[in-house]
Chain A
Amino acid sequence: MSNTLDVTAGWSRWRRSWWYHATYYAQTWRGSVVSTVFFPIFFLAAFGVGVGHLVTAHHGLVQGQTYLHFIAPSLLATTAMQQAEGESLWPVLAAVKWLRTYHAAAATPLEPEDIFYGKLAWVVTRSFLTGVFYTIVIGCFGAIESWWSLTLPIIGALVSLAFAAPLVAFAARSQSDGSFVTIYRFAFVPMFLFSATFYPVSAYPGYLRPLVQLVPLYHGVALARAAAFGQGSLGAITIHFCFLVAMALVGIAWGRRTMRRRLVD
């Protein structure tokens, strides 16, 4: 039994769990691929171009960028968050309660931790692929200015891991989906709207700014923006990066416990 945080030792086993999730997705991919492809285009067209026109006419550049360039990276971060959320709540509850597919998997040589890591690995894989596509779309809208933009898919994957780990951990210990909608409406919608996604953090009154900086998505947005423009201080980037990594690690530590408790004890 692997009770240390030595993740790599179990790789041969949890890659099977990854494979399981990938195979499952392969059967249900159509609708979500369509949304993955079209949603960023829609959003960039509406906000970047449509609202962007209004902003350019009235305000001009935002932090030295056109509005389109300004919001493009934040959409990548928010999409990574939304993807993590979509993959982690209902599907996990279904697998541990309604369909009990994780219980079936736990009856094989897989340990609960393996299933958990495999799930996270799959979410990260998917977000990375989405990130690649996003980066291309952003590029097509002309919103890429630096070689650092090549790291955008990795940032997307990190953001999704930071959210997926605690969410899977939470879903694994849930008895019903009653709280999920509440989480969505009181955590994810506000995060989407108030993480300096659509305007710079300077829009907030001074006393609110530290609060905004406590919002996890804010760090994802800031990191993506820094990469897309190739700017930002090393100190700030380190903080954003560490915040997300810390969130992922806490989520992983919690998820190992909840998954084991749900599947074995």
Chain B
Amino acid sequence: MLTRVLPRFGTRRSTHIFERNFMVYRSQWLMLVSGFFEPFFYLLSIGIGLNSLVGNFHVGGQVITYATFVAPAMLATSAMNGAVIDSIFNPFFRLKISHAYEAVLATPLDVNDVALGEVWWALARAGIYAASFIVCMALLGDANSVWVVLCWPAAVLTSFTFSALGLAACTYMRSWQDFDIVALVQLPLFLFSGTFFPISSYPGWLGAIVSISPLYQSTSLLRGLALGQFAWIMTFRMAYLLVLAFVGLTLAARRFRRILVP
């Protein structure tokens, strides 16, 4: 159990937060289902028009369509976007607007349980989204090898990292207007992390900057896995995402405590 490895981040009681979210979202299932369609539409659109405009790609000796090139990146992006909604928007609402957490803290749950519970929820949702996305890739012919199934754990890891970072960021939000800043970080990450064109298009120094982007690391990891092209650098990419997740979670737990029980 992860809770045993990371006792400082919360206890088994954190699962009740998961339960709570499940109950709330049961009535909004359409919203959950619809979230899956967004990346599907993107893949479909690219397949219809851009495949022929951009032509085929040569990656590590394989010839792939543009949609096959972009699909893993879209999977990583959707993991990031989902984490932003689950870990920044919704907790912000409960932390600063509805004060739902304050009621929870009057029960045996501790601040860390609350933070960790939100991460569980984000992960569970991410797991479902990622699985359905991979099915989509296969249906639209954008998956070239059976190794694409390995994208699932990697996508969940991506969600974990962005959820932890998002939860930390959430505590710094002062009002809804600060979310413009979130979008201002999110959009360039989405556009420039090797999503739509390879990072080799950049001049060297810019490429170095882009490689800091966690979304770039995740995109590269997922692309390698989807094509069944394994390399040692993948271990580094995973470690990078894990370290960021750890940093985010530590910061989030500390900030939650400062806000909720000063």
Q: Which A residues are within 8 Å of any B CB, using their own CB?
A: 28, 30-32, 34-35, 38-39, 42-43, 45-47, 50-51, 53-55, 57-59, 62, 67, 178, 181-182, 185-186, 189-190, 193-194, 198-200, 203-204
Given A53-B197, A193-B42, residue A199 in contact with residue B191 (CB < 8 A): no
Asked whether, in the complex, the Cβ of A204 is within 8 Å of the Cβ of B48, the reply is: yes
Asked whether, in the complex, the Cβ of A55 is within 8 Å of the Cβ of B184, the reply is: no
Contacts of B38 in A (CB 8 A): 185, 189
Contacts of B42 in A (CB 8 A): 193
Asked whether, in the complex, the Cβ of B41 is within 8 Å of the Cβ of A193, the reply is: yes
Asked whether, in the complex, the Cβ of B54 is within 8 Å of the Cβ of A51, the reply is: yes
Pick from B37, B53, B188, B197: contact of A62, CB under 8 Å = B53
Flag B9-46 by CB within 8 Å of A: 1 or 0 each.
00000000000000000001011001101100110110
20 examples of A-B residue contacts, CB within 8 angstroms: A28-B177, A30-B180, A31-B179, A38-B184, A42-B188, A46-B196, A50-B191, A51-B197, A54-B66, A58-B54, A58-B55, A67-B53, A178-B28, A181-B34, A182-B30, A186-B34, A189-B37, A193-B41, A203-B49, A203-B52
Q: Once bound together, how far apart are the Cα atoms of A2 and B183, in whole Å?
A: 42
Q: Once bound together, how far apart are the Cα atoms of A58 and B50, in whole Å?
A: 11
Contacts of A182 in B (CB 8 A): 30-31, 34
Q: Which B residues are within 8 Å of any A CB, using their own CB?
A: 28, 30-31, 34-35, 37-38, 41-42, 44-45, 48-50, 52-55, 66, 177-181, 183-184, 187-188, 191-192, 196-197, 201
Q: Return the 4 tightest CB-CB contacts between A and B, nearest first.
A: A31-B180, A199-B49, A58-B55, A46-B191
Contacts of A178 in B (CB 8 A): 28, 31
Q: Once bound together, how far apart are the Cα atoms of A31 and B187, in whole Å?
A: 14
Q: Once bound together, how far apart are the Cα atoms of A57 and B54, in whole Å?
A: 8
Pick from A42, A47, A51, A194: contact of B187, CB under 8 Å = A42
Pick from A35, A51, A200: contact of B196, CB under 8 Å = A51
Contacts of A62 in B (CB 8 A): 53
Q: Once bound together, how far apart are the Cα atoms of A204 and B50, in whole Å?
A: 11
Q: Once bound together, how far apart are the Cα atoms of A46 and B194, in whole Å?
A: 10
Pick from B30, B41, B48, B183: contact of A35, CB under 8 Å = B183
Q: Once bound together, how far apart are the Cα atoms of A38 and B178, in whole Å?
A: 16
Pick from A35, A193, A198, A199: contact of B184, CB under 8 Å = A35
A216 to chain B, nearest CB (A): 17
Contacts of A34 in B (CB 8 A): 180-181, 184
